Amino acid sequence: MYEDKTLVCKECGKEFTFTAGEQEFYAERGFVNEPQRCKECRDARKTKIKTQKEMYTTTCAACGCEAKVPFKPREDRPVYCSECFAKMKNEE
């Protein structure tokens, strides 16, 4: 039903293949737009976004160790380091 398509990356201008398998994946997920960037540019964009996130330093409410979190901690809510958070999640 699907055939490979050649698309042009809006970021770098290179041609890339939107494979039949990728098209099927998009259809299964209900995506209506074709990708506009090649894999390399998509990956670079994701990396850039991840490195731009501001990290906040706080104290873990369970163990007292320093914890870095991607959100601004509030005084009225406890914040946990990744290890304590994982332990709590496993106990549920």
Q: Return the domain boundaries, the chain.
A: 5-52, 56-91
Contact 17, 5 (CB under 8 A): yes
Choose the weakest-confidence range: 5-9, 15-19, 65-69, 88-92. Answer: 88-92
- Judged by DSSP in three states, 85 sits in helix
Percent of the chain with pLDDT over 90: 74
- Judged by DSSP in three states, 62 sits in coil
Q: Mind spelling out the 3-state secondary structure of 14-53?
A: CEEEECHHHHHHHHHHCCCCCCCCCHHHHHHHHHHHHHHC
User: What number is the average pLDDT over the span 42-55?
Assistant: 84
* Of 15, 34, 38, the residue nearest 25 (C-alpha): 34
